[in-house]
Structure 1
Amino acid sequence: MNVQEFEELWITLNELYNADRFLEYIEISSAAVESAIKLGMYDKAILLLRYSCASYFQTGDLQLSISVLEQYRELTFQHGNDIDLIQYYNIAAIYWGTFGHLKKSEELMLKGLKIAESIQHVESLGKIYNNLSDLEISMGNYRTAKEFALKSLYYSNAFEVQHKEPYTGIMYPKTNLAVSLIWLNEFDEANILLQELLATIHNPPYSKVQLEVFNAYAILCERQGRVSEAIDLYQKTKHYALQNNDLSLLQIIYNSLVKLIEDQGNKIVLCAVQKEYINILLEIQRENYSHVLFEMEYNDHKKQFEKNAYFDPLTNIYNRRYFDENAKRMLEKAAEGNQQLALMMVDLDHFKEINDMNGHLFGDDALTNTAKTLQDYFQPFESIVARFGGDEFIILSQVKEGETVQTLADNLYQTLTALSLMVNGETVQLEFSIGVSTNNFGKIKIVEELIKHADEALYKSKRNGRNQITHYNHYCDVGNGI
């Protein structure tokens, strides 16, 4: 991946993370991290790893997150600045606390707090005080939790004092403040906060903090004696927490549910069994994760990096490196049996305009949809489908007996031009220019020659107005359009 390709992926990843599209971020982030390190962009690699840890945490996949946390720690201590160190201590503290190691969690938070106070980094101060509030809630120290939540909100610009770069995760300290108020029997104040938060939550899937808002409101209902409403809310939160694999939240919910249902005098055995099962799962997971945290072993990324060497991170199809290394063997095999192969260069027309008019994420969707269409179309054939770079794709495919290159290309063109995407309620039709060359039934054995021929044909398609196919003619110096 060169600098330009990395910068394009960097923009996409930041947009995905800021849009809370955590699963999509996870899918393509590891290749970007590897490239950033190779290019010496350590500041960006550190930020990408921090976002990866946070994304895994939001989606509940903590096992992979801890592996990423180790890489994040090493890079931060080697190349990070004070703010990077603060962020690492903060994230590591969250994980230690999640798995029951509260003292270790507090120790890491205070290390980060000391640095943040020394440089007066407002955003970090807001984040750390929020996490300290969460820690105090888990220990039952609700007055201290309330104080820390208010400090976090101060650094979030929730009061009259306005900081230039505030902590933006204001939903977290508001939730912690509400929970603290509930346990301090300040129900009216807690309800005002929770109603404000609930008004911002719409359709699933729900993030971790949104589920914690639901759980906080269930606690309020329970404490106010609104038992049926509390049970319904716990059940709803439980359903989505299961989808997120958020076992720590599930344990809290099950404990509350079992107590409520036992008080109601029904389904005691069933809920007790469910509670026991969740506790067992959680204990196993805590032991495994604690071991990983203590040992800080990192063994899983080598295979992932090897995979990333041959796959385009955005479209998840083969990249140019894979094509270059495997097309030669495919040509040699075809030459032995005088088999006809077709090489096609496919270009998504007007890609820059698509990006400029509809946004970078829309452009990425256009590329990923094109890649999937190509992959599906050539799945029945012995073929290599790869992203050649930018908005270009390259395919080397067998031509089945009884079929012609012309038919293969025509059918592909019809399939591609049927692609459309929706943006702001309007349909955007995609268009493609295609250049086609063949190995002339095994006579051409050099990949570069095939690519050169297809590229010349593609150039003619563009020169003649785009959105068309051109076949390279072996008997003259130009392609012949169809």
Structure 2
Amino acid sequence: MKLTLEELNKTIMEMRTKGYLTEALKLADQGLLVALETNNYPNVLDLYYQKILVHHALGDTLCIVSLIHDYEAICQKYGSSKDLMHYYLVMSLIYDLVGIREKTVEMTKKSITYAHELQDPIMLVRCHNNLCYLEVEKGCTKEALRAGLLAREYNKSLARTLPDLAKLHAIRINNNLADVYILEGDFITGKALLDSTLTSDIIQHHKREKVAALFGYGFLYEKQNKLEEAVSYYKQAIELAQSYGDKAITKKVMRLLLNVLYQLDWRDKIFDVQREYIDLTEKMSVDNLLQQVMNLEFKRQKEKLEKKAHYDPLTGVLNRHFLDYELPEWLNVASMTQSYVCITVLDIDYFKLFNDMHGHLFGDRVLQLLANGLKEFLHEEDVKIIRYGGDEFILCMRHQDKDYIKSLVKNTHAYLLTLKLEQQHQSFPLKVSMGACVNDQKNYQFKELFELADSCLYQAKDNGRASYVLNELS
């Protein structure tokens, strides 16, 4: 029996939880091909996310960075709040791997905001545990303890529905909390948490988590000035990390091992580890990972500036720049492919009353409700949404089937009339008037189509508002 893409995504997560990473990666690759071929973007995003988490567990940072470009592009275009939450988590992992702490914290906190908004138990555990780790890195033990204990509480809820995943998260939380207690000098509690990790019945299937525990023991004994024991555990952590190719963790533990060897004045050992450390650093330089991530950041900042120029900051839809500079090419493509084009003009009935009675901030929320409704309803259609000015919006639609466009206009208007703004236990239904003009596969002149659509809008107003009028050229 073939699995659906939703079932496949769930299966991959279960395989990751059990440590079957290679098998999970193969399934994710197969599912991603199917999802891309069928333009099933929600599942495309889920499978990209699963692939990235598998590569992270394998310590394959280069693969994560190579995937993030396509993942980000699809997420920005088709992603929901859930996908953005996953995206920010992934970015926090990448920034952490290259040591850009400020961006790591920023991305983690963005992911946490979405996790709280969506009440996603898995992400609430993961994000707060990541924050615990980051606060440990900064030496902020109080903040780290707070985040770690929060992660533990959320994990108790998770255990009721996903016990296997909760068991894995418990190991990760204990590893991070152990570091907190060790920094605070509570070596007994720290050791007890690490002991619980290494005696877990699932730890042999999770090398990354076992490396973290071995590293924790090294840290514990170093803080107790039991340096020879620290060397032993740091070495075990390095060997295990090397066994599955995790360069970032290997380098981190080698640096700590060198510090202990200097304290012991073990010169021969220092020379050997230094040589390995330099070789590893050179290999990571060849990978040029930091430069790739910085290029990614530069590209993102550039796109932000471009978006600021092309998009309306209040509603997030296109501004008049599209009409002035990009619409001619869009219409040219429609003409070449002999697609039908529909220009639709719409506005909010009695919008001025919203501002006069409830204030301009309320009016802004009404505009955002309308824009978000349009984006949500039309996200799979070949439609450009433009804020023309004030409460007036333009939709530029194209499709091979004229009847499809006519139905889309009708259904879009019906959907907008279902939108309501809730405030202080009151409900404010959205009333929208709409005028549309569908071309005849001959007239592709925006000005003429717009004027006809605008005329239809006024007819809709005259008809009593909250209605639409469509002009069909023939």
Same fold, TM-score > 0.5, yes or no = yes
Deviation at residue 45 of structure 1 after TM alignment: 2.1
User: 2:175, 2:253 → 1: CA distance?
Assistant: 16
Matched, 1:261 2:264: no
Counterparts in 2 of 1:395-474, with a 5 A limit? none
Cα distance change, pair 100–283 in 1 and its aligned pair in 2 (3 A): farther
Q: Which amino acid aligns with 2:290?
A: E
User: 2:12, 2:202 → 1: CA distance?
Assistant: 24
- Secondary structure of the 1:157 match is helix
User: 2:145, 2:7 → 1: CA distance?
Assistant: 43
CA contact (8 A) 2:155 2:170 kept: yes
Q: Could you say which structure has the higher helix fraction?
A: 2
CA contact (8 A) 1:126 1:156 kept: yes
For structure 2, list consecutive stretches of 5 or more residues without a partner in the other structure.
Answer: 301-474
Please name the residue that 1:152 is paired with. Answer: 151
Q: Which amino acid aligns with 2:123?
A: S
Q: Which amino acid aligns with 2:56?
A: F
Q: Which amino acid aligns with 2:185?
A: N
Please name the residue that 1:430 is paired with. Answer: none
User: 2:201, 2:235 → 1: CA distance?
Assistant: 17
Please name the residue that 2:250 is paired with. Answer: 250
Deviation at residue 206 of structure 1 after TM alignment: 4.5
Please name the residue that 1:60 is paired with. Answer: 59
Cα distance change, pair 32–247 in 1 and its aligned pair in 2 (3 A): same
Matched, 1:294 2:301: no
Please name the residue that 1:220 is paired with. Answer: 220
> Mean Cα displacement is larger for which, 234-243 or 29-38?
29-38
- Secondary structure of the 2:99 match is coil
Cα distance change, pair 144–291 in 1 and its aligned pair in 2 (3 A): same
User: 1:156, 1:4 → 2: CA distance?
Assistant: 29
For structure 1, list consecutive stretches of 5 or more residues without a partner in the other structure.
Answer: 298-482
Deviations 1:365-385 (A, max 9, x none): xxxxxxxxxxxxxxxxxxxxx
User: 1:122, 1:100 → 2: CA distance?
Assistant: 27
CA contact (8 A) 1:215 1:237 kept: yes
User: 2:254, 2:298 → 1: CA distance?
Assistant: 31
User: 2:178, 2:58 → 1: CA distance?
Assistant: 23
Please name the residue that 1:133 is paired with. Answer: 132
CA contact (8 A) 1:153 1:170 kept: yes
CA contact (8 A) 1:90 1:109 kept: yes
Q: Which amino acid aligns with 2:95?
A: W
User: 2:5, 2:277 → 1: CA distance?
Assistant: 47
CA contact (8 A) 2:258 2:274 kept: yes
CA contact (8 A) 1:113 1:128 kept: yes
Deviation at residue 42 of structure 1 after TM alignment: 2.7
Cα distance change, pair 106–208 in 1 and its aligned pair in 2 (3 A): same
Cα distance change, pair 109–6 in 1 and its aligned pair in 2 (3 A): closer
User: 1:102, 1:279 → 2: CA distance?
Assistant: 19
- Secondary structure of the 1:225 match is coil
User: 1:38, 1:261 → 2: CA distance?
Assistant: 55
- Secondary structure of the 1:245 match is coil
Counterparts in 2 of 1:280-429, with a 5 A limit? 280-283=282-285, 285-294=288-297
Deviations 1:454-474 (A, max 9, x none): xxxxxxxxxxxxxxxxxxxxx
Deviation at residue 83 of structure 1 after TM alignment: 2.0
Please name the residue that 1:103 is paired with. Answer: 102
Q: Which amino acid aligns with 1:103?
A: E
Cα distance change, pair 270–15 in 1 and its aligned pair in 2 (3 A): closer
> Mean Cα displacement is larger for which, 287-296 or 161-170?
161-170
CA contact (8 A) 1:99 1:289 kept: no
The alignment's TM-score, normalised by the length of structure 2, stands at 0.56
CA contact (8 A) 1:178 1:190 kept: yes
CA contact (8 A) 1:94 1:131 kept: no
- Secondary structure of the 2:200 match is coil
CA contact (8 A) 2:19 2:205 kept: no
CA contact (8 A) 1:155 1:163 kept: no
Please name the residue that 1:270 is paired with. Answer: 272
Higher relative contact order (CA 8 A, sep 6+): 1
User: 1:180, 1:89 → 2: CA distance?
Assistant: 25
Deviations 1:180-203 (A, max 9, x none): 111111111111111111101678
Matched, 1:200 2:197: no
Counterparts in 2 of 1:43-192, with a 5 A limit? 43-157=42-156, 168=166, 169-192=169-192
CA contact (8 A) 2:218 2:229 kept: yes
User: 1:5, 1:37 → 2: CA distance?
Assistant: 14
CA contact (8 A) 1:26 1:52 kept: yes
Please name the residue that 2:22 is paired with. Answer: 23
The alignment's TM-score, normalised by the length of structure 1, stands at 0.55
Q: Which amino acid aligns with 2:70?
A: Q
Deviation at residue 211 of structure 1 after TM alignment: 0.9
Q: Which amino acid aligns with 1:174?
A: N
Cα distance change, pair 73–188 in 1 and its aligned pair in 2 (3 A): same
CA contact (8 A) 2:129 2:148 kept: yes
Please name the residue that 2:232 is paired with. Answer: 232
Q: Which amino acid aligns with 1:270?
A: D
